[in-house]
Amino acid sequence: MSQFILALHASHNAAACIGDGHKVLYAIQEERLNGEKNYWGYPKLSIDACLKQAGVEPHDLAAVVYGGETVLCRYHSRDDVMKSYRRQFTMLGRLRQRVAMPLITKIKPNFGHSALAEHLASSGLGKVPRIHYDHHLSHAATAYYGLRRNAAEKYLVLTCDGAGDRLCASVRVMGGGENKLVAATDWGDSLGAIYSWITFGMGFVPMEHEYKLMGMAPYASSQAAEETAQIFHKYLGLTGDEMGFARKVRKRMADVYQDLERDLRGKRFDYVCAGLQRFTEDLLCRWAAAAARSTGIRKVLAAGGVFMNVKANKRIAELPEVDEFEAFPSCGDETLPFGAYYLEAAKRYRDEDVEPLKHFYLGDAIAADESEQVARDSGYVVEKPVDMAARIAELLATGKPVARAAGPMEFGARALGNRSILADPSNQDVVRVINQMVKKRDFWMPFAPMVLARRQHDYIQNPKKLRSPYMMMTFDVRENFRDLIAAVHNADLTCRAQLLEPEHNPEMHAILEAFEKRTGRGVILNTSFNLHGYPIVRTAADALFVLKNSGLEHLQIGEFLLHKQPI
């Protein structure tokens, strides 16, 4: 009997994953294969990679599943995205975006199915049964199945994003044999749409650069944040029972930008970012608290692109109504395939047999022969340490950043140690050094720390002992924050910590322990291994390309260390 399930997402940040009746076996974003960051379109290369890595032929598939009823799989470049926002200032553009497209998707909720079917046929999958699941149900499934600890226990599951299948948010109770939609918000009342439009108005790319506004927000004063937040509050609030979002104006939130721009005119850029962030946090916290009180469930899981806002996640986690909180890793639309897979596996096999995530290293591994070949042909000084962890710790302790491409690749937006640039976080100047070398990161954006989980309370405040293996929330740091100053937000002294247990990543954990043994500090700076504007590296060849085209001097590829100069 065919037991494998292939799942895909063919819109913004296209991706695919494949699994059996128990767990996801392999997952990858299309950007990692074609080099176009946040690629929008049919993920042909990802589908091919899923079948190859799992050793599966089309006839081995029980189903192809999609996390959404509406499909927008036509290719869009980054310029296309920007043009789609700009054209809404024209009469024709407004008619298209505000009237035509909403009408089409309402009349034809299965819009795009025929185009997707043609693509799948071209991949040899035309005869495999295709099943669609609702967009927000799929988001909820990522959080519930991916993060649950006990299938018999009930969880409060929140989803929030820009829009999907005519919704922008949902409240569900899942677990213990229950999957109940408690409340849902129409897409016209979208908090995510406001955030994306302000991202566009600030000169950044919507659906990609929202995090930059979040990073700027703490630099403004609390008074400025509150005053500016009140402008946003005039447009969007909550329903009477606070279980959903509700607009306070006639226009949909995707259509109010020109009004908002008028009301915000004259406000400093940092005030706008701070006000938007304060407004976002306030609404999400009131909504989450009301949902917890209404359902009586204090264990909260979350997914959808709005929950990529790690500072808002921090505030939700701190609510007195919440005992536990966790957001699915990289919970934008790139993880919809996970939700669709989970739903189909739970339906087709047994719900309780669907395994939660043990880690997020679900991509390509760098094989020993691949790393050796690339290292030997690199032209650089090649070393094969007997103790790789100790050798990397030695380099880090002397102030030298080390790039790492080893083991299976992480899925999603966060580098979790296997495709990372590592550094000593006690050296404030390392931020400047890494930015000059490779990252070209916006000057106000902080880097993040990777912390030994057993040492977390030496560095961060985590009274609820929340899990944080995927960098999905921030924490306040302790008084000794100078031990990790290069990985702390300068304005509010928070950090987006990855709390690493040995079972998450034994090799990276060993590096942290070796660094602790050498320096006494159980924390390392970790940022994604990529050139500015490029996806995170995938292969040994990708890693060597970045080394050659940056100021990086030291690189681990598998069992080898490469150095640009003899040391």
Q: What is the mean pLDDT of the chain?
A: 95
Q: List, for residues 52-100, the tens digit of each pLDDT value.
A: 999 999 999 999 999 999 999 999 999 999 998 998 888 887 777 777 7
Distances (CA, A) of 417 to 30, 302, 355, 429, 535: 21, 24, 23, 21, 15
**Cα–Cα distance measured from residue 74 to residue 32, given in angstroms and rounded to the nearest whole number:** 19
The pLDDT of residue 437: 86
Per-residue pLDDT, averaged over 414-425, amounts to 97
Q: Which domains does the chain have, with CATH numbers?
A: 149-331 (3.30.420.40), 368-563 (3.90.870.20)
Residue labelled with tokens 């990073």: 215
> Which uninterrupted H or E stretch holds 241?
none
Q: Collapsing DSSP states into helix, strand and coil, what is residue 522?
A: coil
| DSSP for residue 96 | I
Whether pLDDT at 225 is above 80: yes
Position 480 confidence tier, pLDDT thresholds 50, 70, 90: confident
- Return the DSSP state at 458: G
- The token pair at 492 is 């509010």
Q: Whole-angstrom Cα distance, residue 354 to residue 52?
A: 23
Q: What is the pLDDT of residue 103?
A: 77
To the nearest 10°, report the CA torsion of 237, 204, 471, 145: 60
* pLDDT score, position 441: 84
Give the C-alpha separation, 326 to 500, whole Å: 15
Q: At what angle do helices 222-233 and 269-295 cross, to 10 degrees?
A: 70
Give the span between the Cα atoms of 481 and 492, in whole angstroms: 12
Strand partners, 27: 17
The helix or strand, by DSSP H or E, that contains position 231, with its residue range, turns out to be: helix 222-233
Q: What's residue 301's pLDDT?
A: 98
Q: In sequence order, what are the residues at sequence separation of 6 or more whose Cβ sits closer than 8 angstroms to the Cβ of residue 499?
A: 451, 453, 456, 467, 468, 469
Nearest Cα residue to 500 out of 361, 388, 379, 306: 361
Interacting residues of 340 by C-beta distance below 8 A, sequence separation 6+: 7, 65, 66, 67, 131, 133, 138, 141
pLDDT digits over 186-217, tens only? 999 999 999 999 999 999 999 999 999 999 99
pLDDT confidence tier of residue 51, bands split at 50, 70 and 90: very high
> What residue ranges in 192-329 does DSSP mark as E strands?
236-238, 245-247, 299-303, 324-327
pLDDT at 109 (0 to 100): 78
Q: What is the pLDDT of residue 352?
A: 93
Please give the structure tokens belonging to residue 523: 């924390």
Q: Are strands 24-29 and 15-19 parallel, antiparallel or unpaired?
A: antiparallel
What is the reported pLDDT for 88? 85
pLDDT of residue 207: 94
**Contacts with 360 (C-beta within 8 Å, 6 or more apart), sequence order:** 329, 330, 410, 411, 412, 414, 416, 469, 470
What 3-state class would DSSP assign to 451? Answer: strand
Residue 440: pLDDT over 90 = no
Residue 181's pLDDT is 98
Exposed / middle / buried, residue 455 (Cβ in 10 Å: 0-12, 13-18, 19+): middle
Check residues 565 and 173 and name the one with the higher pLDDT: 173
Which run of H or E residues covers position 94? helix 91-95
Helix residue spans in 379-427 (DSSP H) = 388-397
- On whether the CB atoms of residues 409 and 363 are closer than 8 A, the answer is yes
Q: With 90 as the cut, is the pLDDT of residue 320 above it?
A: yes
Say what the pLDDT of residue 412 is. 96
What average pLDDT does range 541-553 have in this prediction?
96
**pLDDT given at position 3:** 86
Contacts of 69 (CB under 8 A, 6+ apart): 109, 110, 132, 134, 135, 165
Is pLDDT above 60 for 565?
yes
Question: Could you read off the pLDDT of 355-380 as tens digits, one per residue?
Answer: 999 999 999 999 999 999 999 999 99
Enumerate residues 6+ apart whose C-beta is below 8 A from 446.
215, 431, 487, 488, 489, 490, 495, 496
Predicted confidence at residue 17, as pLDDT, reads 98
Number of H-type helices and E-type strands within the chain: 19, 22
- Of the chain, the percentage scoring pLDDT greater than 90 comes to 91
Q: What is the mean pLDDT of residues 508-537?
A: 96
pLDDT in tens, 234-284: 999 999 999 999 999 999 999 999 999 999 999 999 999 999 999 999 999
1 pLDDT exceeds 60? Answer: no
pTM of the shown model:
0.96
